Amino acid sequence: MAELPLVVAPNLKRRLSGVTATVVRLIPVQARMIAIRATGPGLPPEVPHLPLWRAITMPRDRWRVWHARRNTEMALGLILRRLLGRRYRLMFTSAAQRRHTGFTRWLIRQQEALVATTPQAASYLERPASVVMHGVDTGIFHPPADRAALRRDLGLDPEAVLVGCFGRVREQKGVDLLVRAGLRLLPDRPRVQIILTGRITPDHRAFADGLQSEIAAAGLSDRIRFLGELPWDRLVQHYQALDLFAAPARWEGFGLTPLEAMACGVPAVGARVGAYEALIRDGETGSLVATGDVDALAAALRRWLDDDPGRLAAGRAARAHVETSHAIETEARALLAIYADLLGRP
């Protein structure tokens, strides 16, 4: 590596999660602006990377920033700073919209800079924090040149009206609400299909199996499908293949999936949780519905499924909205200003 980083972004979780997705998409953009490296397991090769042992043994020649996004990463930063004497300025980004545990609050108090992804998340930190909302890399997430050809490559029906819901399969994500809305809507709409991607963990297997039993009993197993956990590049392609995105979560810290879909020119229907109300322009780039309300979700989906021209116009508006207000470069520059402040402190 030609130069040692000024900023280290730890990612101490091997499996794909929302935090890992943030690191994967953001670090390459930030690396064009500042010497930054991620560290930790399971990151794809395109992410600028520093071996964890190297981050731990960083020379003490100058201050650097340790930008944590999890408790484990805050704790490791403290060990490096206080026990091993590494010159790291400690920074934490939180997306959680809930009261933190006592241990987490203690870790947060040790940080020198705090970032929250929404004003709601900032209110739970009990200390001043900068609000920096997530953005999307519009060079990666963009409308496809030929959606029908892409669908054929993915084994999807080129003629379908395709609804997607991406994320871990569990009750928190409202997957059951989408399935039951689909059971109402699909019998009268033979073109419509629903695909769901995401990992099913053992503790949520019974939940997923129950939904698949309901789908099978309705004779819709070929039109409401669980595709499992997809590699990152294939997931992006599945966003691009959609006509409509659904995010009916009961709870979210931030919730990036509607933004990623909108960047691909896909309107989004989302519950009023996380940052969705700040991301989706109701009636223009999609719809917002009451949390946990299957009737409201079905009505919003029906609106867009039955209006092909309106859905296409909303997709164009969604892409323009992301380009104008939620490009990842805006997020990267806001974080860069915080890094500069930390690095400039005596």
Distance CA 132, CA 59 (A): 30
Q: What are phi and psi of 192, to 5 degrees?
A: -80, 135
Per-residue pLDDT of the chain (346 residues; tens, 9 = 90+): 457 999 999 999 877 677 888 898 899 999 999 999 999 998 888 899 999 999 999 999 999 999 999 999 999 999 999 999 999 999 999 988 889 999 999 999 999 999 999 888 999 998 999 999 999 999 999 999 999 999 999 999 999 999 999 999 999 999 999 999 999 999 999 999 999 999 999 999 999 999 999 999 999 999 999 999 998 889 999 999 999 999 999 988 788 899 999 999 999 999 999 889 989 999 999 999 999 999 999 999 999 999 999 999 999 999 999 999 999 999 999 999 999 999 999 8
Q: Which pLDDT score is estimated for 234?
A: 94
Distance CA 83, CA 94 (A): 24
Q: Which domain holds residue 76?
A: 7-135+327-344
Closest CA to 40 of 19, 63, 59: 19
Give 79's DSSP letter.
I
Closest CA to 130 of 47, 67, 40, 39: 67
Q: Are residues 161 and 236 in the same domain?
A: yes
Q: How many domains does the chain have?
A: 2
Burial environment of residue 97 by CB neighbours within 10 A (0 to 12, 13 to 18, 19 or more): buried
Q: Which pLDDT score is estimated for 16?
A: 64
Q: Taking the model in full, what pTM does it have?
A: 0.83
Q: Are residues 276 and 235 in the same domain?
A: yes
Q: Which pLDDT score is estimated for 51?
A: 95
Q: Within a domain: residue 140?
A: no
Judge contact between 68 and 92, C-beta under 8 A: yes
Q: Are residues 121 and 265 in the same domain?
A: no
Chain-centroid distance of CA 328 in Å reads 12
Q: Within a domain: residue 213?
A: yes
Q: Are residues 167 and 230 in the same domain?
A: yes
Judge contact between 246 and 228, C-beta under 8 A: no
